[in-house]
Chain A
Amino acid sequence: DAGITQSPRYKITETGRQVTLMCHQTWSHSYMFWYRQDLGHGLRLIYYSAAADITDKGEVPDGYVVSRSKTENFPLTLESATRSQTSVYFCASSHQTGTGPTEAFFGQGTRLTVV
């Protein structure tokens, strides 16, 4: 199906474990983004990517690692999960034209709980 999908939708993990959140888009959009949204707060940009093999830090990158070997995938890894990383994670994608970005499309989110 066309679109942007995140997996898993829900994840419970223990402190100190490594966990990877997946994001896949079918539009071949050049830009992809990862956000976290803590309960009752706004979205904060973790990392973004302008194209395959090009990534850059956002507002809150510490404790996270990303990679983008293929245009359609943008996994987010928490190398050693902490309770403060309990949050809802959203992935988004957007195409960049010569005159600017197109609208961004968001996934349905992954609710991560670190115990």
Chain B
Amino acid sequence: DAKTTQPPSMDCAEGRAANLPCNHSTISGNEYVYWYRQIHSQGPQYIIHGLKNNETNEMASLIITEDRKSSTLILPHATLRDTAVYYCIDWGSGNTGKLIFGQGTTLQVKP
């Protein structure tokens, strides 16, 4: 079973920041927090990942709490094309590489 908890759905206005929360209270020390998204019926797409520090790339920012029990994915300027299901996953060598997806958050970006 997935070890992360996410809200099932969220809305965001186009052009505004989308903040997607995730709880991973059972994450172990060698597991990273990964974020993927799935647009419509395509294969999931990697967004960003981190271990302890906050991370930023061209797609998003990842904020991880100091105790590592939760994180927030930030899409700074959401567009309609960001409408997708977003998955937060804790994944690392400690769980023998098994990559388990939870139910994710359906983000609806509205004009």
A42: chain B residues within 8 A (beta carbon): 85, 87, 101-104
Give the top 5 A-B pairs by smallest Cβ distance, nearest first.
A106-B43, A103-B46, A43-B101, A100-B92, A42-B103
Please tell me which one of the listed residues A44, A48, A99, A108 contacts residue B98 in the complex, with CB atoms under 8 A apart: A48
State the CA gap A42–B44 with chains docked (Å).
Answer: 11
Q: Considering only CB atoms and an 8 Å cut-off, how many residues of chain B contact the other chain? A: 29
Known A-B contacts A42-B103, A42-B104, A103-B34; the reply to A96 vs B97 at CB < 8 A is yes
| B contacts, CB < 8 Å to A | 1, 30-32, 34, 36, 38, 41-46, 49, 51, 85, 87, 91-93, 96-104
Report the nearest A residue to B46, measured CB to CB.
A103
Would you call A96 and B99 a contact (CB within 8 A)?
A: no
B34: chain A residues within 8 A (beta carbon): 103
B-contact 0/1 string along A10-31, CB 8 Å cutoff: 0000000000000000000001
Known A-B contacts A100-B30, A101-B93; the reply to A33 vs B45 at CB < 8 A is no
State the CA gap A104–B89 with chains docked (Å).
Answer: 12
B99: chain A residues within 8 A (beta carbon): 31, 33, 45, 48, 92, 94, 101, 104
Chain A positions 85-109 with a Cβ under 8 Å from a chain B Cβ: 88, 90, 92, 94, 96, 99-101, 103-109
Secondary structure type dominating chain A contacts = strand
B1: chain A residues within 8 A (beta carbon): 59
Q: Considering only CB atoms and an 8 Å cut-off, how many residues of chain A contact the other chain? A: 27
Secondary structure type dominating chain B contacts = loop
Quick one: which of B42, B85, B96, B100 has the most chain A CB within 10 A? B100
Would you call A45 and B100 a contact (CB within 8 A)?
A: yes
Would you call A31 and B42 a contact (CB within 8 A)?
A: no
Would you call B98 and A45 a contact (CB within 8 A)?
A: yes
Distance from A57 Cβ to chain B, minimum over Cβ atoms (Å): 10
